[in-house]
Every structure is written in structure tokens, then in C-alpha cells.
Amino acid sequence: MKKQRLDKFIANQTLLSRSIVRTGILRGNATVNGEVVRSIGEIIDADSDVITYEGSDIGFKEYVYILMNKPKGVLSAATDKSRETVVDLVPSHIKRPNLAPVGRLDKDTTGLLLITDDGVFAHNCISPKKAISKSYIATLDGDINDDMIFAFEQGVVLADGTKCRPAKLERIGENVARIIITEGKYHQIKRMFGTVGLGVNDLRREAIGGLHLPDGLNEGECIEMTKEQLEIAILNKNE
């Protein structure tokens, strides 16, 4: 980690603006290795120096990785002028500037959603070349049959002529199915079921690759994870 100015470091690791941080530093609200520092241009080493601001430790994290159980009715977006977004639900103690959802879930779809400020990681997760599987539980307005399962395995053609990749469709209950896809077109699952004459009443994402929605994580709640945990589960990196 390259050395950097104290005010920039604190602002990057919190939700505070640079101007607010600078004022706080001038007032003696920051310490470096236990010593009060009032110089906004103080150069620190985030890898070795111990930084506090207003009594709280400011530990260095290059990026933040969050797993959320997305609730219904919330936008998969970073910001919106009038509607609540998934980033709005992130607790303040792990919230950072530039957080954004990895891909998207429709407004009325619930379940596993990743949020991060690591653009390279996000790109790898959603890149069509990676063909990462995404598993959903769909409650339908009718039951599935073997012909539908076969059609999904072959790759259905949407109403606009778009050919989908082969998908796995499994009946797990009356009018309830699990569907696994490796792409993420707009409203894809609803459109796929539409090709076989079924409507989707409820949709929940349960897994991305080998990463599953944790038991006990309620809708609207989230947990922080490490990049290593996610890369092992999603990108199959064990190095």
C-alpha cells in the first residue's frame, strides 16, 4: 500500500467528505499511532500506522465485499432520486463510497445479491465469458412438465428472438421450480417461463456459483465477506 495523506485515507475508509475530515483533523480528532495529528497533509502508511478518527479505529480495507439478502421492492442500484436502493440498506459501519450491486436483481426479486466497490471483481462475476451459474427458486402460476424441462435444457428462444443458453429446470414442489442459468439478460427468467406459457409469481436467488444465501440472514440484512471467500466460492480460485 502506497503512503498517502491522512485526510484522504480517512475519507476513503469512511462516508465522510474530505472537507469534513480536514476540519476534524484540525480540531484534533485524528491520531496516528496514539499521537494527535492536526496536519491534514500528514503522510501515513496504512499498512503499518494505527489511525483513529473521533475515537474510532480506521482500519485499511482496499475494497469492501457485502452479501445481502435483497428484499422485495428495493432497486438493485447504487443511487436513485426517489426510490430506495440496496446500497441504502448497507449498515453505516461497512458502508463506503462507490459501492454498487454486482449485476442486478429485478425490483420484486429477492435473495442473494453482492455489493462491492471492487470493479474488477464485479466484472469477473458478471462476465458472460465466466459462465457463472446463478440458482433461483421460482413460484409459478402453473406446474412444469418434462417438455418444459427439455426446452430449457436446449436453450429457449425468447419472444424477441434472443436465444438463451441451456438452463437446468427442476420441479421441487407444486408450482415451484429451481432454475439455474449462466447468463443475466433483462427479466430473463420471467421471459424464459413466458415461452412455455407460465407466469412467475415470486422469484428468489439462492446461489451464485458455490456461494449460497446463508441460513438465518433475513431479507434486508447483509454480512461482510472477504475477497478470498468469494473467489473460492464463485470464481473457483483456491490460490
Backbone angles phi, psi at 199, to 5 degrees: -105, 150
Spatial contact of 120 and 176, defined as CB atoms under 8 Å apart: no
How does DSSP classify residue 83?
A: S
For 146-187, give the DSSP string: HHHHHHHHH--B-TTSPBPPP-EEEEEETTEEEEEES---TT
Characterize 2-22 residue by residue with b for buried, 16 or more Cβ atoms within 10 angstroms of its Cβ, and e for exposed.
eeebbbebbbbbbebeeeebb
| Secondary element (H or E) of residue 13 | helix 6-13
Pairwise CA distance, residues 205 & 110, whole Å: 6
How does DSSP classify residue 116?
A: E
- Tell me the catalytic residues: 106
Pairwise CA distance, residues 25 & 118, whole Å: 28
